[in-house]
């Protein structure tokens, strides 16, 4: 059953029109061309859909999911001073901020470092599964969900920004030596991979079967 909230409309693809992602020009490919053409305005490669969109998104997403656990369990920073050395993970850093009374900052780091990456993994998996199942339901809601994923992607780098700022501040003031740990590298990889997975997903696939025929 199709989504009753999706209005009847003629898609550009059904009219033989492709949109250039470089300059947004609408191209009419020659008869018999089904894969790609050159945009007559900017010369960019134009395709009706992103090539291997679902496969690429799944590849990036599964790689991100595999790194999500070590990103949260491995040390993010290693601090060396006259008092000794200390390693901290994302979770230990959140607990430290909470016990020190910085509840708002602890909540912000928790949401940006734990909730947002997990939310992106779950929501993008849902979109990919719905496209593979050729679902025709909730197309508008799924489109809004994809826009939401694009909007929150930039906030996932908060932890990496914090580690970089702390390292610069500590070393400038000669208070101690702070080095990023393997957890920071894994977390950065998770963020980059989820962003690539979102970028590789072609949201137009959601609408291809919204009105069969």
Does a structural domain hold residue 211? no
3 state DSSP class of 154: helix
Q: In which domain, by residue range, is 119 found?
A: 51-206
This prediction has a pTM of 0.75
What's the rounded mean pLDDT across residues 68-93?
77
pLDDT band of 172, cuts 50, 70, 90: very low
Count up the domains in the chain and report the number: 2
Note whether 31 and 91 are same-domain residues. Answer: no
Note whether 94 and 179 are same-domain residues. Answer: yes
Give the pLDDT confidence score for residue 45 in this predicted structure. Answer: 73
Q: Which of 38-52, 168-182, 194-208 has the highest mean pLDDT?
A: 194-208
Asked if 28 contacts 172 with a C-beta cutoff of 8 angstroms, the reply is no
What's the rounded mean pLDDT across residues 11-23?
67
Give the pLDDT confidence score for residue 83 in this predicted structure. Answer: 66
Note whether 91 and 188 are same-domain residues. Answer: yes
pLDDT band of 95, cuts 50, 70, 90: confident
Give the pLDDT confidence score for residue 63 in this predicted structure. Answer: 96
């Amino acid at each position: 059953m199709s989504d009753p909230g999706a209005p009847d409309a003629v898609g550009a693809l059904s009219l033989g029109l492709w949109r250039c992602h470089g300059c947004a020009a609408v191209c009419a490919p020659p008869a018999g061309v089904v894969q790609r053409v050159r945009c007559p305005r900017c010369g960019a490669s134009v395709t009706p859909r992103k090539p291997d969109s679902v496969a690429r998104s799944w590849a990036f997403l599964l790689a991100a999911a595999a790194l999500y656990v070590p990103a949260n369990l491995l040390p993010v920073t290693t601090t060396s001073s006259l008092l000794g050395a200390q390693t901290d993970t994302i979770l230990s850093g959140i607990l430290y901020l909470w016990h020190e009374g910085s509840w708002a900052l602890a909540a912000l780091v928790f949401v940006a470092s734990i909730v947002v990456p997990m939310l992106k993994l779950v929501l993008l998996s849902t979109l990919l599964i719905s496209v593979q199942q050729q679902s025709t339901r909730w197309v508008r809601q799924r489109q809004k969900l994809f826009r939401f994923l694009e909007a929150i992607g930039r906030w996932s780098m908060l932890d990496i920004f914090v580690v970089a700022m702390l390292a610069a501040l500590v070393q400038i003031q000669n208070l101690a030596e702070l080095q990023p740990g393997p957890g920071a590298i894994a977390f950065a990889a998770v963020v980059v991979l989820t962003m690539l997975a979102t970028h590789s997903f072609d949201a137009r696939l959601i609408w291809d079967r919204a009105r069969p025929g």
